[in-house]
Amino acid sequence: MTDTLNAMPPATDTAPPVPAEKPERNSMLRHARYVASENPVTGLAFALFALIALCALIGPYIVPHDPLASDTAAALQPPSWKHWFGTDQLGRDILSRVVVATRLDFVIAITSVALVFAMGGLAGIAAGYFGGWTDRIISRLSDTIMAFPLFVLAMGIVAALGNTVTNIVIATAIINFPLYVRVARAEANVRREAGFVQAARLSGNGDVRILLGHILPNIMPIMMVQISLTMGYAILNAAGLSFIGLGVKPPTPEWGIMVAEGAANIISGEWWIALFPGAALMLAVFTFNLLGDGLRDLVDPQRRT
Amino acid sequence: MLKGPTPEVDTGEALPLLDVRDLTVEFQTRRGVVQAVKHVNISLAKGETLGIVGESGSGKSVTSYAVMRILDRAGRIADGSVMFSNLDLRRIDESEMRDLRGREMSMIFQSPRLALNPIRKIGQQIEDVLLQHAQIDRDMVAEKAVEMLEQVRIARPRERYHAYPFELSGGMCQRVVIALALACRPQLLIADEPTTGLDVTTQKAVMDLVTELTRDRGMSTILITHDLGLAAAYCDKVIVMEKGHVVETATSETIFRSPEHPYTRKLMRATPRPGITLRDLLPEDEAKRAGATGTTAVKSGAPLLKVEKLVKEYPRQGSTSSLSRLFRTGPAPEGDVFRAVDSISFEIARGESVGLVGESGCGKSTTSMMLMRLIDKTSGSITFDGEDIGSIPARAFATLPQRKRIQMVFQDPTDSLNPRFTAARAIADPLLRLSDISRKEIRTRIEELATQVGLPLNLLDRFPHQLSGGQKARVGIARAIALKPDLVVLDEPTAALDVSVQAVVLNLLQDLKDKLGMSYLFVSHDLNVVRLLCDCVIVMKSGQIVEQGPTERILTTPAADYTRELLTAIPHPPL
């Protein structure tokens, strides 16, 4: 905290004692460090996120075993020094499979959230800003989606479109659509008549510029919370689809499938097959949920004091 | 006329009702401990009315919160003593304090609407206070609540007992808050900016009511305000605070006749009052440096802006659905619409500044929004420099070249700046959209504008929340004049500012007008400010123009009763 303080030029003129931060190249990084140190939970979330991202990036190159190589001689072994997380029915190393699966689950979560943020976020601010028929159509559309049990809807979409990763992404995006629309709509609606929006209109900004250049950046903090929450939800959803056989196909390592494969063996005492991928899943969801507050602080300039 | 010793005032050596000694309040913030109030002494006798005057951040509200022990969690009383009668308020525990609040000491807050629970009937809210402090039996309480409403002069109290806060006007809500505060007949009433945000006539009614009720009951009152005039008119004694310190304590008579502390003098000078010029608001040395204001160069010839029979109607409740609007043919049936602006006509010459005055809800904001082409008119015409701009839809106007020529300074400098834009980016916005200035020159132009409005260049890269109110106002003004407009609408540009900042901003506006030859439409509720800045004034009431003409004539010899009423309601320091 002290270096943040020292970096501030002294307040000048009749200004209230507000610290000014010169916009420098590294100010975002420094701010991230500040946000993380301010709140230990956020720091933990950032660290866990870095771990997950690292696994997704370089996981396949560092694992001790080939995640697909089966070795029936070593099937169903409990955790040991050779196989830290044990082995499954086909003798595959569970640690390797859990680590390698990170990339797929992570990519599904990120792409589906990016997709739904683009669709739902834009539709929502348009609905909130324009009101009238735009609002009616978009809101009723999202109400219609909300009317279905969401997981069943996702199942239906994947079943109808085909069992591919792309379709899992699309299905996950669609079921999260209403959440984004509602938040973005409410936030845009209260800002529609705000002074700075009127001022932007006076400055000659058209509606599109006002929406994207003025309103959207202002609702980013709250959208960030939404993004991190739905990230966790998206991972759960993708894993859930795979668990019931409607997603990634075996033998591709994926947390949902691995839990499904291990579920039958829990009764016979081989708990490790389902436990470790399940724990990885839980950890990922936990991380994303914790991340929300930190992300909000990161994108909100008012916190940067 | 409202002051003077009351029979209950005991000028002897009796124990004061409230005795605050050496009070220091600290706040724990992200950057360490901040002292908001430093070694403040207050002594309030029974039946006395004390004014605490100061600008924002002076610690005047924090002092009263400390007395009531309602500081938020980050704040604590670090030092000093607070004695109420003979109770040490720092020593007694929270449950005793809770019992004191409302029964022995109560408070009126700034925003009456926020102080009332929006989903409960006002009668029930008064009952809550009475029952909380066991002042009365349950079966009598409704009668007592009605009686309280009657005492604060709410007409038809039996009916209003069942009203919800949203059904009442701001002034009425404040009366209910007063009824709540006085329900248990407390000995001490703290009124924190009780009339800020209310119209002058409502302010007078509310303040008269408070003084009368407190005098009848022999209560002591602390009035916290930024308005010297108000403090002078209603208080026996005044404390002036600056940056957490008490700089001067005296009876209101002496403090206004012969202020001793330089800060008090500066505040007195900055308060707009009749018979002075704009320069008189500034501290003496600055006024000298600024020189005389330029003579107003009102050019003759065709008016810059001509408004004829302008009307704005809004659909009333129940008919707002767009389906009914879509399928309705012909004009809306009578009674279905509310006329916010009712057939007004006026002109603004080049280089002239016109004041548009009226109380809240009179249609002055709607009028300015129509002139700005932010909303569409219902009928009538708006001619700007010979061109009918009224018939261009508001949505299409944003990107037209005429947009450059009409700009606006908004009421709330905080709300009107995008929180995510730096000051430079905010000023650049109109330049980027509506001028063909190149990217390279834009920084030069921004710095030129910042210099013109007196904004230090090193503040240009700050975000709005890192700027003070006055600096934000300057950014807003720089943005409005960036495109060299012909007409600038000023929508209460100083209403959210402290008086000393207001003085500087008003002078700045006048200088800019002299230099750039713009016309101003100055929308305000404050006649004293309008008097200083405007050549002509238009007085509006319920959507219609009551009176218009040269400022001096209207403000010295008003023809309409309403204008006279507005003028008499303004509290003046006895100068």
CA distance A263 to A272: 10
Q: Which of A144, A50, A131, A60 is nearest to A97 (CA)?
A: A60
CA distance A104 to A115: 16
Q: What is the pLDDT of residues A96-108, one digit of tens each?
A: 888 888 888 888 8
- Does the structure's ipTM exceed the value 0.90? no
Q: Which amino acid belongs to residue B514?
A: D
Tokens for A249? 């196909």
| Residue A40: alpha-carbon gap to chain centroid | 20
Residue A35 has φ and ψ, to the nearest 5°, of -60, -40
Regions of chain B where pLDDT drops below 50: 1-12, 319-320
CB B253 within 8 A of CB B223: no
Are the beta carbons of A301 and B465 separated by less than 8 Å? yes
Q: What is the pLDDT of residues A115-145, one digit of tens each?
A: 999 999 999 999 999 988 999 999 999 999 9
B403 touching chain A per CB within 8 A: yes
In this complex, the residue of B398, B429, B480 whose CB is nearest that of residue A206 is B398
pLDDT of residue A173: 92
Are the beta carbons of A199 and B479 separated by less than 8 Å? yes
Q: Buried b / exposed e across A61-70, counting CB within 10 Å, b at 16+?
A: eebebebeee
pLDDT of residue A262: 81
pLDDT of residue A135: 92
E strands, B358-438, in order: 379-384, 387-388, 406-409
Number of H helices, E strands in chain B: 22, 20
pLDDT of residue A122: 92
Residues of chain A with Cβ-Cβ distance to B437 below 8 Å are none
pLDDT of residue A126: 93
Q: Which of B405, B418, B463 should be substituted to probe chain A, the one whose Cβ sees the most A Cβ atoms within 10 Å? A: B418
pLDDT of residue B568: 85
Please tell me the distance in Å from B227's CA to the nearest CA on chain A. 21
Q: How many of the other CB atoms lie within 10 Å of CB of B210?
A: 26
CB B473 within 8 A of CB B461: no
pLDDT of residue B11: 46
pLDDT of residue B539: 92
Cα distances (Å, whole numbers) of residue B568 to B526, B545, B552, B564: 12, 19, 16, 6
CA distance A34 to A31: 5
Residues of chain B with Cβ-Cβ distance to A16 below 8 Å are 57, 468
Residue B193 has φ and ψ, to the nearest 5°, of 45, 55
Residues of chain B with Cβ-Cβ distance to A304 below 8 Å are 463
DSSP B102-135: TTTEEEE-S-HHHHS-TTS-HHHHHHHHHHHTT-
Cα distances (Å, whole numbers) of residue B233 to B10, B495, B569: 21, 21, 11
Residues of chain A with Cβ-Cβ distance to B399 below 8 Å are 204, 206
Please tell me the distance in Å from A299's CA to the nearest CA on chain B. 10
CB A99 within 8 A of CB A233: no
Regions of chain A where pLDDT drops below 50: 1-25, 305
The residues, any chain, with a CB within 8 Å of residue A71's CB and separated by 6 or more, are: A87, A90, A91, A92
DSSP B203-250: HHHHHHHHHHHHHHHT-EEEEEES-HHHHHHH-SEEEEEETTEEEEEE
Q: Which amino acid belongs to residue A283?
A: L
CA distance B254 to A141: 69
pTM of the entire structure? Answer: 0.77
CB B496 within 8 A of CB B479: no
Portion 346-385 of B in contact with A at CB < 8 A:
372, 374
Burial class (CB in 10 A: 0-12, 13-18, 19+), B300: exposed
Please tell me the distance in Å from B417's CA to the nearest CA on chain A. 5
Chain B residue with the nearest C-alpha to that of A201: B398
CA distance A118 to A174: 12
Please tell me the distance in Å from B24's CA to the nearest CA on chain A. 19
**Which residue is it, tokens 């396949």?**
A60
The residues, any chain, with a CB within 8 Å of residue A186's CB and separated by 6 or more, are: A128
Are the beta carbons of B417 and A196 separated by less than 8 Å? yes
How open is the CA angle A195-A197-A201, to the nearest 5 degrees? 115
Task: Name the helix (H) or strand (E) containing B551.
Answer: helix B551-556
**Which residue is it, tokens 């303080």?**
A5
A–B CB contacts, 8 A cutoff, strictly below = 109
